[in-house]
Homo-oligomer: A and B are copies of this chain.
Amino acid sequence: MKSSKKRNSAKKAQEKQKNILEILKGHGAKIYRDLDDGQFPKFSIPSRSVSNIVYDKELRQYILGNTASVRSSRNSSQLRSFTQLMWLAFFANRLSQEKKSSTLRDVYYSSQAFAIEFDDQSESDNIIVDLEAVLSKPREDFHIFPEERSSIFGDLNIEYTIPGYEGKTMNLSNHPDGYAIGPSLTTSELLDTSAEIVIAIEKGGLFTRFVEEQVDKKFKAIIINTGGQAPRSTRTLLKRIHDEMSLPVIVLTDGDVYGEHIAMVIKSGSANAAHLRELTVPDAKWVGVWATDIEKFKLPTIPMTESDIKRCHDLKNDPRYADGIWKKELEVFLRIKRKAELEAFSKYGLTNITDKYLPQKLELAKSL
Protein backbone atom coordinates (compact mmCIF):
# COMPACT_ATOMS: atom_id res chain seq x y z
CA MET A 1 0.00 0.00 0.00
CA LYS A 2 2.80 2.32 0.95
CA SER A 3 4.67 2.03 -2.34
CA SER A 4 1.60 2.43 -4.52
CA LYS A 5 0.65 5.52 -2.52
CA LYS A 6 4.18 6.76 -3.04
CA ARG A 7 3.95 6.40 -6.78
CA ASN A 8 0.76 8.42 -6.79
CA SER A 9 1.98 11.28 -4.69
CA ALA A 10 3.81 13.34 -7.32
CA LYS A 11 0.91 12.79 -9.69
CA LYS A 12 -1.65 14.01 -7.16
CA ALA A 13 0.33 17.18 -6.50
CA GLN A 14 0.51 17.82 -10.24
CA GLU A 15 -3.23 17.27 -10.58
CA LYS A 16 -3.95 19.68 -7.76
CA GLN A 17 -1.81 22.33 -9.42
CA LYS A 18 -3.42 21.67 -12.79
CA ASN A 19 -6.84 21.95 -11.19
CA ILE A 20 -6.27 25.36 -9.62
CA LEU A 21 -4.64 26.66 -12.82
CA GLU A 22 -7.63 25.51 -14.86
CA ILE A 23 -10.10 27.19 -12.53
CA LEU A 24 -8.11 30.42 -12.70
CA LYS A 25 -7.85 30.14 -16.47
CA GLY A 26 -11.62 29.69 -16.67
CA HIS A 27 -12.17 32.96 -14.83
CA GLY A 28 -9.58 34.70 -16.98
CA ALA A 29 -11.20 33.40 -20.17
CA LYS A 30 -14.54 34.77 -19.01
CA ILE A 31 -13.04 38.24 -18.63
CA TYR A 32 -11.72 38.03 -22.22
CA ARG A 33 -15.10 36.81 -23.49
CA ASP A 34 -16.87 39.71 -21.81
CA LEU A 35 -14.43 42.10 -23.49
CA ASP A 36 -14.83 40.41 -26.87
CA ASP A 37 -18.60 40.68 -26.49
CA GLY A 38 -18.32 44.37 -25.75
CA GLN A 39 -19.42 43.78 -22.13
CA PHE A 40 -17.88 45.22 -19.00
CA PRO A 41 -16.13 42.24 -17.34
CA LYS A 42 -17.32 41.25 -13.88
CA PHE A 43 -16.95 38.67 -11.12
CA SER A 44 -19.74 36.97 -9.25
CA ILE A 45 -18.78 36.52 -5.60
CA PRO A 46 -20.72 34.54 -3.00
CA SER A 47 -21.76 37.16 -0.44
CA ARG A 48 -19.85 36.99 2.83
CA SER A 49 -22.12 39.43 4.63
CA VAL A 50 -23.52 38.32 7.99
CA SER A 51 -26.99 37.88 6.54
CA ASN A 52 -25.64 35.26 4.12
CA ILE A 53 -23.74 33.19 6.71
CA VAL A 54 -25.81 30.36 8.11
CA TYR A 55 -25.04 27.42 10.34
CA ASP A 56 -25.48 24.12 8.51
CA LYS A 57 -26.48 21.37 10.93
CA GLU A 58 -25.63 18.59 8.52
CA LEU A 59 -22.16 19.86 7.65
CA ARG A 60 -21.78 21.02 11.26
CA GLN A 61 -20.14 24.28 10.26
CA TYR A 62 -21.04 27.76 9.02
CA ILE A 63 -21.67 27.98 5.30
CA LEU A 64 -22.57 30.75 2.86
CA GLY A 65 -26.15 31.03 1.65
CA ASN A 66 -27.14 31.57 -1.98
CA THR A 67 -26.75 35.32 -2.19
CA ALA A 68 -24.05 36.42 -4.57
CA SER A 69 -22.80 39.90 -5.25
CA VAL A 70 -21.44 41.16 -8.53
CA ARG A 71 -18.15 43.02 -8.75
CA SER A 72 -18.41 44.79 -12.09
CA SER A 73 -15.98 47.02 -13.97
CA ARG A 74 -19.02 48.92 -15.22
CA ASN A 75 -19.83 50.27 -11.78
CA SER A 76 -17.32 52.96 -10.86
CA SER A 77 -17.75 52.24 -7.13
CA GLN A 78 -16.77 48.60 -7.78
CA LEU A 79 -13.96 49.29 -10.22
CA ARG A 80 -11.30 49.46 -7.52
CA SER A 81 -12.15 46.10 -5.92
CA PHE A 82 -12.77 44.53 -9.35
CA THR A 83 -9.25 45.50 -10.41
CA GLN A 84 -7.75 44.31 -7.15
CA LEU A 85 -9.47 40.95 -7.47
CA MET A 86 -8.42 40.56 -11.11
CA TRP A 87 -4.82 41.39 -10.24
CA LEU A 88 -4.91 38.90 -7.36
CA ALA A 89 -6.18 36.15 -9.67
CA PHE A 90 -3.28 36.98 -12.01
CA PHE A 91 -0.82 36.90 -9.12
CA ALA A 92 -2.28 33.64 -7.75
CA ASN A 93 -1.82 32.13 -11.20
CA ARG A 94 1.81 33.16 -11.24
CA LEU A 95 2.45 31.82 -7.71
CA SER A 96 0.83 28.51 -8.61
CA GLN A 97 2.69 28.17 -11.90
CA GLU A 98 6.03 28.99 -10.34
CA LYS A 99 5.21 26.98 -7.18
CA LYS A 100 6.35 29.87 -5.01
CA SER A 101 4.95 30.24 -1.53
CA SER A 102 3.84 33.60 -0.15
CA THR A 103 1.94 35.04 2.79
CA LEU A 104 -0.93 37.50 3.20
CA ARG A 105 1.65 40.17 3.90
CA ASP A 106 3.73 39.29 0.85
CA VAL A 107 0.70 39.77 -1.35
CA TYR A 108 0.05 43.20 0.09
CA TYR A 109 3.59 44.35 -0.69
CA SER A 110 3.76 42.53 -4.02
CA SER A 111 0.79 44.56 -5.23
CA GLN A 112 3.00 47.64 -5.15
CA ALA A 113 5.24 46.16 -7.83
CA PHE A 114 2.19 46.27 -10.12
CA ALA A 115 0.94 49.68 -9.00
CA ILE A 116 -2.21 48.04 -7.63
CA GLU A 117 -3.43 50.13 -4.76
CA PHE A 118 -4.44 48.73 -1.36
CA ASP A 119 -4.89 51.18 1.50
CA ASP A 120 -3.48 48.66 3.94
CA GLN A 121 -3.02 44.93 4.41
CA SER A 122 -6.53 44.42 5.72
CA GLU A 123 -7.87 45.54 2.34
CA SER A 124 -5.73 43.02 0.48
CA ASP A 125 -6.50 40.27 3.04
CA ASN A 126 -10.15 40.85 2.31
CA ILE A 127 -9.68 40.52 -1.45
CA ILE A 128 -7.79 37.27 -0.87
CA VAL A 129 -10.81 35.89 0.98
CA ASP A 130 -12.97 37.09 -1.93
CA LEU A 131 -10.82 35.07 -4.32
CA GLU A 132 -11.14 32.02 -2.04
CA ALA A 133 -14.92 32.45 -2.25
CA VAL A 134 -14.88 32.91 -6.03
CA LEU A 135 -12.74 29.80 -6.56
CA SER A 136 -14.18 27.81 -3.62
CA LYS A 137 -10.60 26.98 -2.76
CA PRO A 138 -8.51 27.81 0.28
CA ARG A 139 -5.73 30.30 -0.38
CA GLU A 140 -3.12 27.64 0.38
CA ASP A 141 -4.15 26.04 -2.94
CA PHE A 142 -2.94 29.17 -4.73
CA HIS A 143 0.21 29.31 -2.60
CA ILE A 144 -0.64 31.87 0.07
CA PHE A 145 0.33 30.23 3.36
CA PRO A 146 0.02 31.24 7.02
CA GLU A 147 3.29 32.12 8.71
CA GLU A 148 2.46 30.66 12.12
CA ARG A 149 4.02 27.38 13.03
CA SER A 150 2.69 24.55 15.12
CA SER A 151 4.23 21.10 15.38
CA ILE A 152 3.51 17.40 15.10
CA PHE A 153 5.01 14.19 16.48
CA GLY A 154 4.09 10.54 15.97
CA ASP A 155 4.41 7.51 13.79
CA LEU A 156 3.21 8.95 10.51
CA ASN A 157 5.06 8.43 7.25
CA ILE A 158 4.71 11.24 4.76
CA GLU A 159 6.05 11.96 1.30
CA TYR A 160 6.88 15.50 0.24
CA THR A 161 5.50 16.95 -2.98
CA ILE A 162 7.15 20.38 -2.94
CA PRO A 163 9.83 21.16 -5.53
CA GLY A 164 13.21 19.71 -4.60
CA TYR A 165 11.73 17.22 -2.16
CA GLU A 166 9.41 15.19 -4.38
CA GLY A 167 9.52 11.53 -3.47
CA LYS A 168 11.44 12.06 -0.22
CA THR A 169 9.79 10.52 2.81
CA MET A 170 9.86 11.24 6.52
CA ASN A 171 8.65 9.47 9.62
CA LEU A 172 7.32 12.11 11.99
CA SER A 173 8.42 10.31 15.15
CA ASN A 174 12.13 10.83 14.61
CA HIS A 175 12.42 14.35 16.07
CA PRO A 176 11.06 14.47 19.62
CA ASP A 177 10.70 18.29 19.71
CA GLY A 178 8.28 17.95 16.81
CA TYR A 179 8.21 18.78 13.13
CA ALA A 180 7.06 22.30 12.27
CA ILE A 181 3.80 22.24 10.29
CA GLY A 182 4.18 24.42 7.21
CA PRO A 183 3.51 24.27 3.48
CA SER A 184 5.65 21.20 2.83
CA LEU A 185 3.87 19.11 5.45
CA THR A 186 0.31 20.20 4.65
CA THR A 187 0.86 19.45 0.95
CA SER A 188 2.63 16.15 1.54
CA GLU A 189 1.18 12.76 0.80
CA LEU A 190 0.15 10.90 3.97
CA LEU A 191 1.46 7.38 3.44
CA ASP A 192 0.74 5.26 6.49
CA THR A 193 0.60 5.24 10.26
CA SER A 194 0.29 2.83 13.15
CA ALA A 195 -1.56 5.47 15.16
CA GLU A 196 -5.20 5.07 16.06
CA ILE A 197 -5.98 8.59 17.28
CA VAL A 198 -4.82 12.20 16.94
CA ILE A 199 -4.44 14.30 20.07
CA ALA A 200 -4.34 18.05 19.49
CA ILE A 201 -3.05 19.90 22.52
CA GLU A 202 -2.99 23.63 23.12
CA LYS A 203 0.42 24.06 24.72
CA GLY A 204 4.06 23.42 23.86
CA GLY A 205 4.99 22.41 27.41
CA LEU A 206 2.34 19.70 27.46
CA PHE A 207 3.36 18.57 23.96
CA THR A 208 6.87 17.96 25.33
CA ARG A 209 5.43 16.14 28.33
CA PHE A 210 3.29 13.92 26.08
CA VAL A 211 6.28 13.02 23.88
CA GLU A 212 8.44 12.41 26.94
CA GLU A 213 5.84 10.14 28.51
CA GLN A 214 5.50 8.28 25.20
CA VAL A 215 1.82 9.05 24.78
CA ASP A 216 2.41 8.30 21.09
CA LYS A 217 3.38 4.72 21.88
CA LYS A 218 1.20 4.03 24.93
CA PHE A 219 -1.96 5.31 23.29
CA LYS A 220 -1.02 4.84 19.62
CA ALA A 221 -1.39 8.55 19.07
CA ILE A 222 -0.18 11.31 16.79
CA ILE A 223 0.36 14.41 18.94
CA ILE A 224 -0.12 17.92 17.61
CA ASN A 225 0.87 21.10 19.41
CA THR A 226 -1.55 23.78 18.22
CA GLY A 227 0.28 26.57 20.03
CA GLY A 228 -2.94 28.22 21.18
CA GLN A 229 -5.59 28.81 18.50
CA ALA A 230 -4.72 26.28 15.79
CA PRO A 231 -3.29 27.95 12.67
CA ARG A 232 -4.94 27.14 9.33
CA SER A 233 -2.09 24.82 8.36
CA THR A 234 -2.68 22.75 11.49
CA ARG A 235 -6.41 22.58 10.88
CA THR A 236 -5.79 21.53 7.26
CA LEU A 237 -3.45 18.76 8.39
CA LEU A 238 -5.86 17.62 11.15
CA LYS A 239 -8.64 17.35 8.58
CA ARG A 240 -6.45 15.44 6.17
CA ILE A 241 -5.26 12.95 8.79
CA HIS A 242 -8.86 12.47 9.95
CA ASP A 243 -10.30 12.05 6.47
CA GLU A 244 -7.48 10.25 4.69
CA MET A 245 -6.30 7.97 7.47
CA SER A 246 -9.66 7.59 9.21
CA LEU A 247 -8.29 8.63 12.59
CA PRO A 248 -10.44 10.20 15.30
CA VAL A 249 -9.29 13.62 16.53
CA ILE A 250 -9.54 14.76 20.14
CA VAL A 251 -8.67 18.19 21.46
CA LEU A 252 -7.20 19.04 24.87
CA THR A 253 -7.18 22.67 25.94
CA ASP A 254 -6.93 24.81 29.03
CA GLY A 255 -10.11 24.76 31.08
CA ASP A 256 -11.47 28.11 30.03
CA VAL A 257 -13.79 29.63 27.47
CA TYR A 258 -10.92 30.31 25.08
CA GLY A 259 -9.87 26.66 25.28
CA GLU A 260 -13.43 25.56 24.56
CA HIS A 261 -13.43 27.82 21.51
CA ILE A 262 -10.05 26.52 20.28
CA ALA A 263 -11.67 23.07 20.17
CA MET A 264 -14.78 24.46 18.44
CA VAL A 265 -12.73 26.16 15.72
CA ILE A 266 -10.91 22.87 15.00
CA LYS A 267 -14.31 21.16 14.84
CA SER A 268 -16.32 23.63 12.83
CA GLY A 269 -14.14 26.50 11.66
CA SER A 270 -15.09 30.11 11.93
CA ALA A 271 -17.80 32.25 10.41
CA ASN A 272 -15.30 34.10 8.24
CA ALA A 273 -14.24 30.86 6.56
CA ALA A 274 -17.86 29.86 5.84
CA HIS A 275 -16.98 29.59 2.14
CA LEU A 276 -14.47 26.75 2.78
CA ARG A 277 -14.73 23.09 3.76
CA GLU A 278 -11.00 22.34 4.03
CA LEU A 279 -10.47 23.66 7.54
CA THR A 280 -12.95 21.76 9.67
CA VAL A 281 -13.04 18.37 11.39
CA PRO A 282 -16.73 18.07 12.31
CA ASP A 283 -16.05 14.78 14.15
CA ALA A 284 -13.33 16.29 16.35
CA LYS A 285 -14.08 15.95 20.04
CA TRP A 286 -13.25 18.36 22.83
CA VAL A 287 -12.35 16.12 25.76
CA GLY A 288 -11.14 18.69 28.27
CA VAL A 289 -10.27 20.50 30.40
CA TRP A 290 -13.98 20.96 30.99
CA ALA A 291 -15.46 23.29 33.58
CA THR A 292 -16.90 20.19 35.22
CA ASP A 293 -13.39 18.67 35.34
CA ILE A 294 -12.27 21.64 37.40
CA GLU A 295 -14.73 20.60 40.08
CA LYS A 296 -14.34 16.85 39.60
CA PHE A 297 -10.54 16.86 39.84
CA LYS A 298 -10.36 19.71 42.38
CA LEU A 299 -7.95 21.60 40.15
CA PRO A 300 -6.20 24.78 41.24
CA THR A 301 -8.06 27.64 39.59
CA ILE A 302 -7.76 31.27 38.61
CA PRO A 303 -10.75 33.65 38.66
CA MET A 304 -12.31 34.36 35.28
CA THR A 305 -11.78 37.92 34.08
CA GLU A 306 -14.55 40.25 32.95
CA SER A 307 -13.50 39.53 29.38
CA ASP A 308 -13.74 35.73 29.97
CA ILE A 309 -17.28 36.19 31.27
CA LYS A 310 -18.27 38.43 28.37
CA ARG A 311 -16.86 35.85 25.95
CA CYS A 312 -19.03 33.14 27.57
CA HIS A 313 -22.14 35.25 27.07
CA ASP A 314 -21.17 35.95 23.44
CA LEU A 315 -20.72 32.26 22.69
CA LYS A 316 -24.08 31.39 24.24
CA ASN A 317 -25.62 33.17 21.22
CA ASP A 318 -23.62 31.04 18.78
CA PRO A 319 -25.80 28.16 17.46
CA ARG A 320 -22.88 25.76 17.80
CA TYR A 321 -23.04 26.23 21.57
CA ALA A 322 -26.77 25.55 21.76
CA ASP A 323 -26.55 22.00 23.06
CA GLY A 324 -24.46 19.13 24.42
CA ILE A 325 -21.26 19.62 26.34
CA TRP A 326 -20.65 22.90 24.51
CA LYS A 327 -23.68 24.45 26.21
CA LYS A 328 -23.31 22.64 29.49
CA GLU A 329 -19.66 23.57 30.03
CA LEU A 330 -20.28 27.24 29.16
CA GLU A 331 -22.96 27.29 31.82
CA VAL A 332 -20.69 25.71 34.41
CA PHE A 333 -17.95 28.25 33.61
CA LEU A 334 -20.50 31.02 34.16
CA ARG A 335 -21.59 29.47 37.46
CA ILE A 336 -18.17 28.79 38.97
CA LYS A 337 -16.51 31.85 37.41
CA ARG A 338 -13.12 30.08 37.70
CA LYS A 339 -10.79 28.61 35.09
CA ALA A 340 -7.89 26.13 35.18
CA GLU A 341 -4.85 25.51 33.02
CA LEU A 342 -3.74 22.14 31.67
CA GLU A 343 -0.69 22.37 33.89
CA ALA A 344 -2.96 22.45 36.94
CA PHE A 345 -2.84 18.64 36.96
CA SER A 346 0.83 18.95 37.97
CA LYS A 347 -0.60 19.48 41.45
CA TYR A 348 -0.95 15.70 41.49
CA GLY A 349 2.48 15.04 39.98
CA LEU A 350 3.95 15.88 36.58
CA THR A 351 2.70 12.71 34.93
CA ASN A 352 -0.78 12.71 36.44
CA ILE A 353 -2.16 14.21 33.23
CA THR A 354 -0.75 11.40 31.07
CA ASP A 355 -1.12 8.57 33.60
CA LYS A 356 -4.59 9.31 34.92
CA TYR A 357 -6.50 12.11 33.21
CA LEU A 358 -5.72 11.23 29.59
CA PRO A 359 -6.70 7.53 29.80
CA GLN A 360 -10.03 8.48 31.42
CA LYS A 361 -10.71 11.02 28.71
CA LEU A 362 -9.73 8.66 25.89
CA GLU A 363 -12.16 6.10 27.26
CA LEU A 364 -14.87 8.71 27.57
CA ALA A 365 -14.20 10.04 24.05
CA LYS A 366 -15.49 6.76 22.64
CA SER A 367 -18.97 7.57 23.93
CA LEU A 368 -18.99 11.31 23.12
Which residues of B sit under 8 angstroms from A351, Cβ to Cβ? 100
In the complex the two chains form, is B168's CB within 8 Å of A177's CB? Answer: no
* A 87-122 binary contact with B (CB < 8 Å = 1; else 0): 000000000000011110111111011000000000
Interface set, chain A 136-182, CB cutoff 8 A to B: 145-151, 160, 162-165, 168, 170, 174-182
Are A181's CB and B170's CB within 8 A?
no
Inter-chain CA distance A289–B204, complex, in Å, is 30
Q: Are B212 and A100 closer than 8 Å at their CB atoms? A: yes
Decide if A214 is an interface residue (CB 8 Å cutoff): yes
Residues of B within 8 A of A348 (CB): 113
B164–A182 touching, CB < 8 Å: no
Q: Are A175 and B179 in contact (CB under 8 A)?
A: yes
By a CB distance below 8 angstroms, the chain B residues around A349 are 110, 113
CA A269 to CA B176, docked complex, whole Å? 27
In the assembled complex, which residues on chain B have CB atoms less than 8 Å from the CB atom of A164? 176, 214
Flag if B105 contacts A205 (CB, 8 Å). yes
A113 to B300 CA separation, bound complex (whole angstroms): 11
**How far is B205's CA from A150's CA once the two chains are assembled, in angstroms?**
13
Measured between beta carbons, the chain B residues less than 8 angstroms from A247 are none
Q: Does A305 contact B (CB under 8 A)?
A: no
Residues of B within 8 A of A165 (CB): 176
Q: Is A322 an interface residue (CB 8 A)?
A: no
Does A209 sit at the interface, judged by CB under 8 A?
Answer: yes
Question: Would A180 and B151 be within 8 Å (CB), given that A113-B346, A347-B113 are in contact?
Answer: yes
Which of A109, A163, A209 is most buried by chain B, counting CB atoms within 10 A of its CB?
A109
Cβ-based interface call for A343 (8 A): yes
A214 to B107, CA, bound (A): 21
**Contact in complex: A178, B170 (CB < 8 Å):** no
A200 to B196, CA, bound (A): 37
With an 8 A cutoff between CB atoms, is A73 at the interface?
A: no
> Shortest Cβ distance from A94 into chain B, in angstroms?
9
Considering only CB atoms, which chain B residue lies closest to A176 in the complex? B184
A203 interface residue per 8 A CB criterion: yes
**A227 CB within 8 Å of chain B:** yes
Residues of B within 8 A of A151 (CB): 149, 180
Residues of B within 8 A of A183 (CB): 177, 208
Q: Is the CB of B170 within 8 A of A177?
A: no
Q: Is A286 part of the contact surface with B, judged by Cβ < 8 Å?
A: no
Q: Hey, which chain B residues are within 8 Å of A347, CB to CB?
A: 109-110, 112-113
A81 within 8 A of B: no
A350 B204 Cβ-Cβ under 8 A: no
- Across-interface contacts of A308 in B (CB, < 8 A): none
A195-238 vs B, CB cutoff 8 Å, 1 = contact: the mask equals 00000000111001100101000000000010100000000000
Given A100-B350, A175-B179, A175-B180, also A204-B148 (CB < 8 A): yes
Q: How far is the CB of A123 from chain B (nearest CB, A)?
A: 14
Q: A293 to chain B: which residues have CB within 8 Å?
A: none
A selection of 26 A-B contacts at a CB cut-off of 8 Å is: A100-B212, A100-B350, A102-B205, A102-B350, A105-B346, A106-B346, A106-B350, A107-B346, A108-B343, A109-B344, A110-B346, A113-B348, A147-B203, A149-B149, A149-B150, A149-B180, A149-B225, A163-B212, A175-B175, A175-B184, A176-B182, A177-B181, A177-B184, A179-B179, A180-B225, A182-B204
Going nearest first, the 5 A-B pairs with the smallest beta carbon separation are A177-B182, A147-B205, A147-B204, A103-B205, A109-B346
